Amino acid sequence: MTNWRDIDLKAKQWVSEAGEIIRQSFKTTLTISTKSNPNDLVTNMDKDIETFFIKKINETFPDHKVLGEEGQGDQIDSTEGVIWIIDPIDGTMNFVHQQRNFAISVGVYGDGVGQIGLIYDIVHDELYHAFKGKGAFMNDLKLPMLEEVELSEAVIGLNATWVMENHRIDHKLLTPLVKAVRGTRSYGSAALEFAYVASGRIDAYLTMRLSPWDFAAGLVILDEVGAGTSTVEGESIHILSPSSVLVGRKNIHTKILKNYLNV
């Protein structure tokens, strides 16, 4: 039988150690390169931190699999077994430009079911964590279940990209939503946006293109506070596939799907 408590302890220990490595890296010079386009950045630290996790996991749990953004983990085509889904640095552009507003994101799934979610905001020393069925926390503080708010009093996480012409969504759909809400924010780290929805700092988050390592941890944490989570088509998010994502307080999630995304 899988000992999820033991996995949780180790995951937290390694996230904390990885955070310290990243903190130390502020004193050194980063090597920065680009991936899919000139604005898609990656640094030596993204790769080093992913390698750090893979080494620890392979040594301690040789039968577990790892899926990481930088591609040094396993080739995975089934949700069977224990899979660690890791984004070593989520918000690399912020890491490079601001040295803040980025996080380590670690989700651990068993046969496709999210069991552990950790999002660590290193600079603020804020660890958002959840263990399936045991609630979500920010450090030692238990996060309350999310309550309803009026859309007119909601602040939503939304990148300006999706309100301009783009090939993923009819941008005209979102203009009325931007008008209806109290305000919009874009933090540049999907993991932190999930953590902020979970902790009530924002009321929803909508984005058109994320990968498993962006949402694996966030979805576990959001489940524990009773958030609504789906694709923008209102379907459930598949844990191993790229996806659009809409998460938020249940009533806001439903309202955005029905009244703005025409689901």
Question: Rule CB under 6 A: which residues touch ligand 2AM?
Answer: 36, 40, 69, 87, 90-92, 159, 188-190, 209-211, 214
To ligand 2AM, the closest distance from the beta carbon of 71 in angstroms equals 13
188's contact among Ca ion, ligand 2AM, none, with CB below 5 to 8 A by partner kind, is ligand 2AM
- Only one residue has tokens 């490079």, namely 96
| Residue of closest CB approach to ligand 2AM | 190
- Decide: 109 and 89 in contact? Cβ < 8 Å: no
Token readout for 30 is 């980063």
Region binding Ca ion by CB under 5 A among candidate stretches 3-11, 139-147, 209-217, 247-255: 209-217
DSSP labels for 116-139?
Answer: EEEEEETTTTEEEEEETTS-EEET
Question: What angle, 0 to 180 degrees and rounded to 10, lies between the N-to-C axes of helices 212-224 and 190-198?
Answer: 0
The answer to the question of residue 69 lying near Ca ion (CB under 5 A) is: yes
Closest residue to Ca ion, Cβ-based? 90
C-beta of 201 vs 209, nearer to ligand 2AM: 209
Q: How far is the CB of 213 from Ca ion (least distance, A)?
A: 6
Determine if 87 is a binding residue for Ca ion (CB under 5 A): yes
Relative orientation angle of helices 4-25 and 44-60, to the nearest 10 degrees? 150
Name the nearest CA neighbour of 207 among 40, 218, 87, 199: 218
| Interface with Ca ion (CB under 5 A) | 69, 87, 89-90, 214
